[in-house]
């Protein structure tokens, strides 16, 4: 089973039809299941509102939400050891670590270069 964790940057690109959005949508379509933190919904809605796009995000229903049932202190420390990222990016990476038994078995999909660099340092598939 091919699984991925998707960061908000990818769905923002798709929502706004950015140049890489078609390739990204095809790539995401190649996974059996796609996960994300529910922080993604807030970040996506904020981006849409900022640009005056509003709109329905019911298309998020194909995502499986990662809802940690404990503090992610271990995962956050592990991410920070791998490299510095901003708070929301840190949370996405920590949620992906929480989800993955072995990071190499989970693709971490992002358009943010710093976050991608740290995800590779943590062992996630690209």
**Neighbouring-strand partners of residue 37:** 66
Determine the pLDDT at residue 35.
Answer: 98
CATH number for the domain including 7? 3.40.50.1010
Instruction: Please count the other Cβ atoms lying within 10 Å of the Cβ belonging to residue 37.
Output: 27
- Overall number of domains in the chain: 1
Q: List per-block mean pLDDT (blocks of 10 residues) for the chain, which spans 126 residues.
A: 95 91 93 96 91 74 94 98 97 98 95 97 93
Determine the pLDDT at residue 55.
Answer: 66
Q: Give the Cα-Cα-Cα angle 94, 79, 19 (nearest 5 degrees).
A: 75
Query: Residue 126: inside a domain, yes or no?
Result: no
Q: Which domain holds residue 46?
A: 3-121
Query: Residue 111: inside a domain, yes or no?
Result: yes
Determine the pLDDT at residue 114.
Answer: 97
Query: Residue 95: inside a domain, yes or no?
Result: yes
């Amino acid at each position: 089973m091919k699984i991925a964790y998707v960061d908000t940057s990818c769905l923002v690109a798709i929502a706004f039809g950015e140049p890489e959005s078609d390739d990204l949508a095809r790539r995401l379509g190649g996974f059996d299941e796609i996960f994300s933190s529910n922080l993604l919904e807030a970040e996506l809605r904020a981006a849409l509102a900022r640009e005056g796009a509003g709109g329905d995000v019911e298309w998020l229903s194909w995502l499986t939400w990662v809802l940690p049932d404990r503090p992610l202190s271990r995962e956050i420390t592990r991410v920070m050891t791998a490299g510095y990222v901003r708070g929301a990016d840190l949370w996405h990476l920590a949620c992906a670590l929480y989800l993955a038994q072995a990071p190499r078995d989970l693709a971490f999909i992002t358009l943010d270069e710093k976050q991608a660099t740290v995800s590779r340092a943590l062992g996630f598939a690209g």
